[in-house]
Amino acid sequence: MPRPIVLVADDDEDILELVKLRLSRSGYDVLTAADGATALALARTASPALAVLDVAMPVFDGLQVTRALRADAATASLPVLLLTARAQDKDVERGLEAGADDYVVKPFSPEALAERVSSLLRIAHEAAQPSPGLRTVAKP
């Protein structure tokens, strides 16, 4: 089975490398982008299984990228995890409104981030399977 591709975008090189190191260790192929436009292009061409996006990025920020992904049928169901240095409720709310599935507040534990990524991928995988439970329900 091919390794799932995870797209990671952050304008801070060191954080990009940190996330890449940790996620590679968990068995993902990690693609990186340093700005929102590159992230969006990669999301459309490289068919990642999940995107980890920093909120504050040049060109397009993480929220704009998330909205663009949601608006495009090809990427509408791509799980998105936001990285944010802004921990206030309203910032988190804006992220989830934009269509993100989850968020992690900086500074984060790489271990905890890897766990979130794996749980989001599991949920996405289950959602993509036809539900056996629903098929057995008889029509009234």
Partner 1 sequence: MRPALASVSAEELLAENERLYELDQMKDELIALVSHELRTPLTSIVGYLELLTGPEAEPLTEQQAKFLSIISRSAERLLSLVSDLLLMAQVESGGVQLNLGVLDLAVLAEECIAASQPTADSRGIRLTAHVQPAYVQGDRRWLAEMVDNLLSNALKFTSEGGRVDVRVSSMRNAVQLEVSDTGIGIAPEEQDKLFSRFFRTREAVQRAVQGTGLGLSIVQAIVDAHSGSIEVESVVSSGSTFRVTFPSTELAA
- Residues of this chain that interact with partner 1 (CB under 8 A) are 12, 14-15, 18, 21-22, 25, 85-89, 106-111
Shortest Å distance, C-beta 39 to partner 1: 18
Identify which of residues 70 and 102 has a Cβ nearer to partner 1 in the complex: 102
Identify which of residues 70 and 86 has a Cβ nearer to partner 1 in the complex: 86
Shortest Å distance, C-beta 15 to partner 1: 6
Tokens 């991928």 belong to: 121
Task: Report the C-alpha gap between 88 and 129 in whole angstroms.
Answer: 35
Shortest Å distance, C-beta 21 to partner 1: 6
Residues 6+ apart with CB under 8 A from 126: none
State the helix-helix crossing angle for 62-71 and 89-98, rounded to 10 degrees.
30
